[in-house]
Chains A and B, each alone.
Chain A
Amino acid sequence: AQSVSQHNHHVILSEAASLELGCNYSYGGTVNLFWYVQYPGQHLQLLLKYFSGDPLVKGIKGFEAEFIKSKFSFNLRKPSVQWSDTAEYFCAVIPTYGNNRLAFGKGNQVVVIP
């Protein structure tokens, strides 16, 4: 079964700093990859997704992620964060063909200090 690891569960940074959240997955076949965000008191929302094609994916709110197949990674980046980016971020993976289960990482709690 597929699994996802996210490191550095708690991240604290100042506004305008750059953010990078690591995501590594394990699965033998092709996968679809997602980053979700959960703002305080709100439900999960899709930030961006990768299915195929250009491995550099751009999402909403200035976020982007790069799929590096050789490293089984799908790291999330934002060049300059804002206070409103304070949230929990989850990486998720689902096999392109197969068990239809979306597996989540443990999440990164990001706090942006004004």
Chain B
Amino acid sequence: GAVVSQHPSRVICKSGTSVKIECRSLDFQATTMFWYRQFPKQSLMLMATSNEGSKATYEQGVEKDKFLINHASLTLSTLTVTSAHPEDSSFYICSASRDLLGYTEAFFGQGTRLTVV
């Protein structure tokens, strides 16, 4: 299957600083990339959908000024958590989708564990 690489896998930062997470599709061009947040013992919550070269579409309740998404190319999307606070500590997962013969398949990165202290 296709490979999606997410970096870093773990990051600890101080409250008030910003953190950038990268998501790359290594062997295919992703038509769309998605960013999820996973709370302990809960499902993945979709934060935003991004298409290359256009602004991301954020889900209701997700602050677009806090979670900046840049989708510079068909293989790279970044999520920047700005002015991070302890409540932003979570597991962030990216996904890249590929359209094949009329259907869409999603591939996931390994996730980033963000801890804000």
Q: Which residues of A contact B (CB under 8 A)?
A: 9, 32, 34, 36, 42-46, 49, 51, 90, 92, 94, 96, 100-107, 109
Q: Which residues of B contact A (CB under 8 A)?
A: 1, 6, 32, 34, 41-44, 46, 49, 93, 95, 97, 102-111
Given the known interface contacts A44-B108, A100-B104, the answer about A109 and B41 at a Cβ–Cβ threshold of 8 Å is yes
Bound CA span A65–B46, Å: 24
Minimum CB–CB distance for A45 against chain B, Å: 8
Bound CA span A43–B93, Å: 9
Q: Is the CB of A94 within 8 A of B106?
A: yes
Bound CA span A34–B108, Å: 13
Q: For residue A109, which residues in chain B have a CB less than 8 angstroms away from its CB?
A: 41
Q: Is the CB of B105 within 8 A of A49?
A: yes
Q: Is the CB of B44 within 8 A of A90?
A: yes
Bound CA span A51–B104, Å: 9
Given the known interface contacts A43-B93, A100-B97, A102-B95, the answer about A32 and B104 at a Cβ–Cβ threshold of 8 Å is yes
Given the known interface contacts A100-B49, A101-B49, the answer about A43 and B110 at a Cβ–Cβ threshold of 8 Å is yes
Q: Which 4 A-B pairs have the closest CB atoms?
A: A43-B110, A44-B108, A106-B43, A104-B43
Q: Is the CB of B104 within 8 A of A94?
A: yes
Task: Give 24 CB contacts A-B under 8 Å.
Answer: A9-B41, A34-B106, A36-B108, A43-B6, A43-B93, A43-B110, A46-B107, A51-B103, A90-B43, A94-B104, A94-B106, A100-B32, A100-B49, A100-B104, A102-B34, A102-B46, A102-B95, A102-B97, A102-B106, A104-B43, A104-B44, A105-B43, A107-B42, A107-B43
Residue in B42, B43, B105, B109 whose CB lies within 8 Å of A43: B109
Q: For residue B104, which residues in chain A have a CB less than 8 angstroms away from its CB?
A: 32, 94, 100
Q: Which residue of A lies closest to B51 (CB)?
A: A100
Q: For residue B49, which residues in chain A have a CB less than 8 angstroms away from its CB?
A: 100-101
Q: Is the CB of B46 within 8 A of A103?
A: yes
Q: For residue B43, which residues in chain A have a CB less than 8 angstroms away from its CB?
A: 90, 104-107
Bound CA span A104–B107, Å: 14
Q: Is the CB of B46 within 8 A of A42?
A: no
